Amino acid sequence: MVPFQALLAFGVSVDAACPGKKSGDVCPTAVHQSTGHQTYSETRGHNFALNATFDEIDPTKYDGLVIPGGRAPEYLAMNDSVIDLVRKFSNSGKTIASICHGQLILAAADVVKGRKCTAYPPVKPVLIAAGASWIEPETMAACVVDGNIITGATYEGHPEFIRLFLKALGGTITGSDKRILFLCGVSFCFQNLLE
């Protein structure tokens, strides 16, 4: 959801599609938290409304593909239509940006052989088995570019992941010398989880 919204904010036209769903359908999301545990925790996220119908997607009409992470890639990697779609993007040399568990789909599509990749560390054996050259993430914000493939370790790398994807599409992010305060608060219903 974050890459989708960030790309929209930068003026990129973005379609979101899911196998078996059509435009207007909703995909529930999950929020991952990787601090304080041996692995990440997962809680219910927002409902994400799709704006494209998967069965109507024509890869020739797009300049790039974003494969978000989370748990969905675990089952999407077994979907022949998804694999075919990813191969079409790869074979045409279009930029593919994949983060976290998304690289399970890249491995299943057989598009990482001989490519430098990073991912959420438990994905490492799958990438190596698919012939990728594993790059150990120094931090969970790490991203790697190899040709038309951009990989990120986890959601912590969203800023760099999005910057690299926009750069690959010919865009730029110039930033600003301004400093911003981002005001946060803890929802009352989750306060007890922090104590």
Residue found by looking up tokens 């990120």 in the block: 152
Annotated active-site residue in 100, 117, 158, 184: 100
Which one from 32, 101, 117, 143 is the annotated catalytic residue? 101
Between helix 2-9 and helix 158-168 the angle, nearest 10°, is 50
Clarify whether 189 is annotated catalytic. Answer: no
**CB-CB contact of 99 with 152 (8 Å):** yes
Residue 84: DSSP 8-state? H
Phi/psi region, residue 175 (left: phi>0; alpha: psi -120 to 50; beta: rest), is left
Which among 157, 126, 127, 131 has a CA at the least distance from the CA of 144? 157
Nearest-angstrom CA–CA distance, 154 and 98 = 10
Respond yes or no: is residue 101 known to be catalytic: yes
> Mind telling me the catalytic residues?
100-101
